[in-house]
Chain A
Amino acid sequence: FVAKSLVVFHVHGFSSTVSSDAVILVAELLKVFVEEATRRAVKQADSEDCDTIDIEHFEKILPQLLLDF
């Protein structure tokens, strides 16, 4: 999971640096994002009585997810 914090750090080597605490927090933020996305997709699949989480389920929850973040 530390990998994610490295991600954040590298990808956006703009002209500023990031404090180490901030990196940890952003990693948390992204983790929450992924967990939320998955759980909402699960709920969607549930509401359609599906056993498998299909990409359509994800697509249906995507708009609200983006608005909430």
Chain B
Amino acid sequence: MDEDEAQKQRLKAAVHYTVGRLCQDIAADCEKQITKQTIAAIAETAFRQCDIFAKDLEAFARHAKRHTVTVDDVKLTARRTTALYNYIQQKSEELALNNQELKEKRKKNAAKRKSKDMEAEEENELED
């Protein structure tokens, strides 16, 4: 159990660091100072919220009789505010597009390699 605790602490520290950077950026944007206490509070809240999200996600996946949490589960978790839901929807569509592009690139590369291989084979045959 100590290992879990140690890992938890490390994750909390990572979150704190990232949250701190994000907060500083926004505070600088709005020309305000932010106290360390506040950053710590935001980090702690984010960590706990993450916990809640994860429990929801796992419950959704189990409800759909799946073992893997998918994008649809995440979309459900973001259902409370319409704007948030739309934002997540947008991002998921971007991701889907990216995945498609990657797949097509791979297909092209595979096709190129196949044609190169075939050319190499033909050359070998000719030499023989």
Q: How many residues of A are counted as interface, with CB atoms below 8 angstroms from the partner's CB atoms?
A: 49
CA distance A56 to B71 in the complex (A): 36
Number of A-B contacts (CB under 8 A): 156
B98 CB to closest chain A CB, in angstroms?
9
Contact pick for B91, options A11, A25, A41, A67, CB 8 Å: A25
Please classify the interface of chain A as helix (H, G, I), strand (E, B), loop, or mixed, using the class held by over half of its residues: helix
Q: Determine the interface band of chain B, counting residues with CB < 8 A from chain A.
A: 35 or more
Q: Is A53 a contact of B27 with CB atoms below 8 Å? A: yes
Q: Confirm or deny: A19 has a beta carbon within 8 angstroms of a beta carbon on chain B.
A: yes
Q: Is B57 a contact of A10 with CB atoms below 8 Å? A: no
Q: Is B35 a contact of A51 with CB atoms below 8 Å? A: no
Please classify the interface of chain B as helix (H, G, I), strand (E, B), loop, or mixed, using the class held by over half of its residues: helix
Q: Confirm or deny: B126 has a beta carbon within 8 angstroms of a beta carbon on chain A.
A: no
B119 CB to closest chain A CB, in angstroms?
35
**Given contacts A51-B33, A62-B45, A57 and B74 within 8 Å (CB-CB):** no
Contact pick for A12, options B35, B51, B73, B96, CB 8 Å: B51
CA distance A55 to B49 in the complex (A): 18
CA distance A6 to B124 in the complex (A): 49
A residues in contact with B32, CB < 8 Å: 42, 45-46, 51-53
Known: A34-B22, A52-B34. 18 other contacts (CB 8 A): A7-B15, A11-B50, A12-B51, A16-B62, A25-B91, A26-B57, A26-B74, A30-B49, A33-B46, A34-B46, A35-B22, A42-B32, A45-B32, A46-B30, A55-B35, A58-B38, A67-B80, A69-B80
Q: Which 6 A-B pairs have the closest CB atoms?
A: A12-B54, A25-B74, A53-B34, A18-B69, A52-B33, A38-B26
